[in-house]
Chains A and B, each alone.
Chain A
Amino acid sequence: MNAKPIDPKLARLIHTAEAPGILYGSCLDPATGHVYGGGIDGHIYRLPARPTEPLPEKAPAEKLWRNHENYIASLAWIDGVIVSASYDHRLIWTRAENGQKQREVHAHEGWVRKVVVVPHWNRLATIGDDMLMKVWDAKTGEAIHSCAGHLRLTPEGFLNTVYGLAASSDGKYVATADRTGVVFVWDAETWQQVATFRAETFYTYDAEKRARSIGGIRGLAFSPDGTRLALGGIGPVSNVDGFVGPCRVEVWDWQNTKRTFVGSDKHQAILNHIAFVNGGELLVGAGGGDGGPIIGCWDMKTESPVAKAKPKSHIQHFAFDDAAQQLLAVGHAGFQVWAFTPAPAKSSEEAKKS
Chain B
Amino acid sequence: MKSQHNEHKQPSGTCITHEHRFHRRAFVGGMLTGGAASLTLPGVSFAGEVPAASSLKQQQKRVLFLWLAGGSSQFEMWDPKPGRETGGPFRDIGTAVSGYRVCELMPKLATRMNKIAVVRSLNTKISEHFQAADLVSTGWPKEPALEHPEIGVVLAKELALQDSLLPDYVSLFTTSEGRRRPSPGFLSRRHAPLLLEGSLQPSNIELPAGLSAEAHARREALRSSLSQQFAQQRAGNDLISGYNEAYARVRGLMRSDELFNLENEPTKNRDRYGRTPFGQHCLLARRLLEAGVPVVKVARGFWDSHHDNFESHRELVPDFDNVLSVLLDDLDERGLLASTLVIVLSEFGRTPKINQDVGRDHYADAWSCAFAGCGIRGGAIHGKTNEDGTAVVEGEANAADVAATIYQAAGIDPLKHYQVGQRPVPLAKEDAQPIRAVLS
Residues of A within 8 A of B (CB): 20-22, 40-41, 69-71, 87, 111, 156-159, 161, 179, 207-214, 216, 241-243, 270, 288-290, 293, 313-314, 331-333
User: A159 and B176: CB pair below 8 A?
Assistant: no
Which of A111, A156, A241, A270 is the one whose CB lies under 8 Å from B70? A241
Question: Given A22-B358, A243-B307, A313-B356, A210–B276 Cβ distance below 8 Å?
Answer: no
User: Can you list 11 contacts pairing A with B, beta carbon distance less than 8 Å?
Assistant: A21-B354, A22-B354, A40-B89, A40-B354, A158-B318, A210-B70, A211-B277, A214-B311, A242-B306, A288-B356, A314-B357
User: A209 and B176: CB pair below 8 A?
Assistant: yes
User: B89 and A243: CB pair below 8 A?
Assistant: no
CA distance A285 to B19 in the complex (A): 83
B274 at the interface (CB under 8 A from A): yes
Question: Given A209-B176, A210-B301, A87–B89 Cβ distance below 8 Å?
Answer: yes
User: B315 and A241: CB pair below 8 A?
Assistant: no
User: A71 and B307: CB pair below 8 A?
Assistant: no
| Complex interface bits, B268-283 against A, C-beta within 8 A gives 1, otherwise 0 | 0000001111110000
Q: Which residues of A contact B279 (CB under 8 A)?
A: 157
User: B356 and A159: CB pair below 8 A?
Assistant: no
CB distance from A129 to the nearest CB of B (A): 8
Chain A interface mostly = loop
User: B307 and A158: CB pair below 8 A?
Assistant: no
Residue of B305, B312, B357 with most partner-chain A CB within 10 A = B357
User: B315 and A111: CB pair below 8 A?
Assistant: no
Closest 10 CB pairs of A and B: A332-B356, A210-B302, A242-B307, A209-B177, A241-B304, A157-B276, A158-B315, A87-B89, A71-B89, A314-B356
Task: Give chain B interface residues in 294-337, CB to chain A under 8 Å.
Answer: 300-302, 304-308, 311-312, 314-316, 318-319
Q: Which residues of B contact A290 (CB under 8 A)?
A: 307, 357
User: B275 and A208: CB pair below 8 A?
Assistant: no
Which of B175, B176, B274 is the one whose CB lies under 8 Å from A157? B274
Chain A minimum-CB-distance residue to B314 = A159
User: A333 and B311: CB pair below 8 A?
Assistant: no
Which of B177, B315, B318, B358 is the one whose CB lies under 8 Å from A213? B315
B108 at the interface (CB under 8 A from A): no
Question: Given A208-B175, A212-B312, A333-B356, A157–B302 Cβ distance below 8 Å?
Answer: no
User: B302 and A211: CB pair below 8 A?
Assistant: yes
Which of B83, B85, B177, B275 is the one whose CB lies under 8 Å from A210? B177
Residues of B within 8 A of A (CB): 70, 83, 85, 89, 91, 174-177, 274-279, 300-302, 304-308, 311-312, 314-316, 318-319, 354, 356-359
User: A161 and B358: CB pair below 8 A?
Assistant: no
CB distance from B413 to the nearest CB of A (A): 37
Question: Given A158-B319, A211-B302, A289–B312 Cβ distance below 8 Å?
Answer: no
User: B311 and A241: CB pair below 8 A?
Assistant: no
User: A41 and B357: CB pair below 8 A?
Assistant: no
User: B302 and A21: CB pair below 8 A?
Assistant: no
Which of B176, B308, B314, B356 is the one whose CB lies under 8 Å from A208? B176
User: B357 and A242: CB pair below 8 A?
Assistant: yes
Q: Which residues of B contact A69 (CB under 8 A)?
A: 83
CA distance A332 to B274 in the complex (A): 37
User: B311 and A161: CB pair below 8 A?
Assistant: yes
CB distance from A349 to the nearest CB of B (A): 35
Question: Given A211-B301, A212-B302, A333-B356, A161–B307 Cβ distance below 8 Å?
Answer: no
CA distance A19 to B359 in the complex (A): 18
19 more contacts with CB within 8 A, not counting A211-B277, A212-B315, A241-B307, are A40-B89, A69-B83, A87-B89, A111-B89, A158-B276, A159-B315, A210-B175, A210-B177, A211-B278, A214-B312, A216-B311, A241-B70, A242-B306, A242-B307, A242-B359, A243-B307, A243-B357, A270-B308, A314-B356
Question: Given A209-B176, A211-B300, A211-B301, A161–B314 Cβ distance below 8 Å?
Answer: yes
CA distance A32 to B314 in the complex (A): 39
User: B85 and A21: CB pair below 8 A?
Assistant: yes
Q: Which residues of A contact B91 (CB under 8 A)?
A: 70
Q: Which residues of A contact B354 (CB under 8 A)?
A: 21-22, 40
CA distance A333 to B300 in the complex (A): 34
CA distance A87 to B276 in the complex (A): 27
Q: Which residues of B contact A214 (CB under 8 A)?
A: 307-308, 311-312
CA distance A218 to B358 in the complex (A): 14
Q: Which residues of A contact B359 (CB under 8 A)?
A: 242
User: B175 and A22: CB pair below 8 A?
Assistant: no
Chain B minimum-CB-distance residue to A244 = B307
Which of A70, A157, A208, A211 is the one whose CB lies under 8 Å from B89? A70
Question: Given A211-B175, A242-B357, A242-B359, A156–B311 Cβ distance below 8 Å?
Answer: no
Q: Which residues of B contact A289 (CB under 8 A)?
A: 307, 357
Q: Which residues of A contact B70 (CB under 8 A)?
A: 210, 241
Q: Which residues of B contact A241 (CB under 8 A)?
A: 70, 302, 304-307
CB distance from B384 to the nearest CB of A (A): 24
Residue of A21, A159, A288 with most partner-chain B CB within 10 A = A159
CA distance A41 to B89 in the complex (A): 10
CB distance from A267 to the nearest CB of B (A): 14
Q: Which residues of A contact B315 (CB under 8 A)?
A: 158-159, 212-213
Q: Which residues of A contact B316 (CB under 8 A)?
A: 158, 212
Chain B minimum-CB-distance residue to A70 = B89
CA distance A270 to B357 in the complex (A): 9
Q: Which residues of B contact A158 (CB under 8 A)?
A: 276, 315-316, 318-319
Chain A minimum-CB-distance residue to B316 = A212
CB distance from A216 to the nearest CB of B (A): 8
Q: Which residues of B contact A87 (CB under 8 A)?
A: 89
